[in-house]
Amino acid sequence: MGKLDGKVAIVTGAAQGIGASYAKALAEEGAKVAVVDVLDGAETAERISSEVAGSEVTAFECDISDEAATLKLVEDVTAKLGGLHILINNAAVFGTLQPQPFDEIDIDLWDKVQSVNVRGMLLMCRAAVKVFRPQKYGKIVNIGSDTILKGIPFMSHYVTSKGGVYALTRVLARELGADNISVNTLAPGLTMSEAVLAWGPEGDHDKNLVIQSRSLQREQLPADLTGACVFLSSPESDFMTGQYVAVNGGDCFS
């Protein structure tokens, strides 16, 4: 028996990176999983299907900042996988960003980060509740970041967007409680996803500073996050909503 048997989950931004690890972990607990990304996630979906016996994992291409695309996505996932119970809002403009002073960031890039990381998340929530509300059940996990409490410099576009994720979670938890839909933020610390590993040796100084600020002083891996993701997706957390769950090795500032 898996913790998510009979459930259907969308994981956005799951073609690669931490999202692919969430998708695999949910599949291992018995959920049917939609691997959603603006990139082609077919290879990832096939890989997870072959690694997790008996799983049903399907790729769907979608730009989450496009309202019509999010509505169609939810219709397609529901039709193909037979329902929807869990939404992991993991997609974000993150790995492609370069550190820059706040007064030098191109304002169109600033808008792009907000439009995917906050507006896109809002649109995904709006599309998913069309299914969650009538069935009086749904689990939304918004992927935030512990950078919002640290105020990491030179990433103001990104950190501000993740502050929006924190705030949006609190509001939606209030608005959706009457429909028995829970909404929580899962906030990772700096995690060795493909994007972060690609920083190369130039990023070692920053990575070491983060490790030193932790109670558990080691690198954080995608696998460190999957347990919390499964918990926040499962009935075990049904009376938790509006919460900010940091998984970051006990960083002293967040």
Ligand X SMILES: NC(=O)c1ccc[n+]([C@@H]2O[C@H](COP(=O)([O-])OP(=O)(O)OC[C@H]3O[C@@H](n4cnc5c(N)ncnc54)[C@H](O)[C@@H]3O)[C@@H](O)[C@H]2O)c1
The residues of the shown chain that bind ligand X, judged by CB under 6 A, are 12-13, 15-19, 37-39, 62-65, 90-95, 116, 120, 143, 145, 188, 190-191, 193-196
Please give the C-alpha separations between residue 127 and each of 60, 65, 253, in angstroms, as whole numbers. 15, 12, 35
Residue among 19, 15, 24, 29 at smallest CA distance from 235? 29
Q: What's the first-to-final CA gap in the chain, in angstroms?
A: 35
Q: Where are the strands (E) in 97-180, listed by range?
A: 138-143
| Catalytic status, residue 166 | no
- Of the two residues 105 and 143, which places its CB atom closer to ligand X in the complex? 143
- Of the two residues 29 and 37, which places its CB atom closer to ligand X in the complex? 37
- Residue 40's Cα: distance from chain center in Å? 17
Instruction: Give me the least distance between CB of 165 and ligand X, in Å please.
Output: 8
- Of the two residues 30 and 195, which places its CB atom closer to ligand X in the complex? 195
Which of the residues 22, 137, 158, 166 is marked catalytic? Answer: 158
Instruction: Give me the least distance between CB of 65 and ligand X, in Å please.
Output: 5
Instruction: Give me the least distance between CB of 136 and ligand X, in Å please.
Output: 28
Point out the residue whose Cβ comes nearest to ligand X: 17
- Of the two residues 133 and 195, which places its CB atom closer to ligand X in the complex? 195
Residue 18 backbone phi and psi in degrees, to 5: -65, -35
Q: Is 18 exposed, middle or buried (0-12, 13-18, 19+ CB in 10 A)?
A: buried
Residues known to be catalytic: 158
